[in-house]
Chains A and B, each alone.
Chain A
Amino acid sequence: KAGVTQTPRYLIKTRGQQVTLSCSPISGHRSVSWYQQTPGQGLQFLFEYFSETQRNKGNFPGRFSGRQFSNSRSEMNVSTLELGDSALYLCASSWGDRDNSPLHFGNGTRLTVT
C-alpha cells in the first residue's frame, strides 16, 4: 500500500510569490491534514479537510489556504510569501471517521523563502 506522497520535496521561492504544495493520501483515507514544522514553533496545525470540506482550521492568516479534491488529494496554497513562511510543510492522512485513527505522514515539502 502506497504511503502519503508530497510533491515537490523542495521549493525555493522569493518573497511576495505564491506557492502550491500537493499531497496524495493513502488510498481510502478521506481526511488530509496540513502542518507547518519549524525549529522554534514545532508542529503547527494549518487545516484539515474531510470529504472535500474544511473540517478544522488552525490559527494561520488567510494567505494560507487549501482544498481537497473528490479523489481526496489535497493542495495547499500560500500567497504573498514571507521569509517567516520558510518551513517544512507536512501532510498527513487518516480515515477521519474512525475512532483512534492515527495520522500517516508524508516526508514533507521543504519551503525556503528568500
Chain B
Amino acid sequence: GDSVTQMEGPVTLSEEAFLTINCTYTATGYPSLFWYVQYPGEGLQLLLKATKADDKGSNKGFEATYRKETTSFHLEKGSVQVSDSAVYFCALRVEVWDKIIFGKGTRLHILP
C-alpha cells in the first residue's frame, strides 16, 4: 500500500545550521506531496506542497523538491532558528478523494 518513510528523530541542531529531513514514499500513481509542521500544543499546519515531478514547494525559508526518480521529498532549510523547533510530517495523497497518509514525524530541536 501507499506509505511514507521519514528519518527518525529527534534531530538537534544549533541555530543557523543547515537542515535536511529525509522523506521517501511508496505510492501507486502520481501523488501530491506535503510537509506539515506541528508546534507544541497545536494541530498540524501545512508548510509546503508539490503536486508533480520536479516541482519545488517553498515557504518560510523551507524547501522541498518532488523527485520522482528517487521517490523522495526531502525538506531543507539553509539557516534554522530556535522558532523552527517542532515536529515535521511528510505526507502524500494519490487522488483528490483519497485520505492523506502521513509519515511518523521528525522532532526537531534547535539550540540557541
Contacts and interface: CB of A to CB of B under 8 A. Distances in A.
Contacts of B105: 42-43
Interface stretch (A12-20, A68-76, A102-110): A102-110
The dominant DSSP class at the B interface is loop
B54 to A, nearest CB: 16
A90 interface: yes
Q: Report, as a range, how many residues of chain A touch the other chain.
A: 20 to 34
Given A42-B104, A43-B89, A102 B46 contact: yes
Interface string A90-114: 1010001111111111111000000
Interface in B22-38: 32, 34, 36
A99 B51 contact: yes
B97 to A, nearest CB: 6
Interface of A: 4, 6, 33, 35, 41-43, 45, 48, 50, 55-56, 58, 90, 92, 96-108
Interface of B: 32, 34, 36, 41-46, 49, 51, 89, 96-105
18 contacts: A42-B102, A42-B104, A43-B89, A45-B101, A48-B99, A55-B97, A58-B99, A97-B96, A97-B97, A99-B96, A100-B51, A102-B49, A103-B46, A105-B36, A105-B43, A106-B43, A107-B41, A108-B43
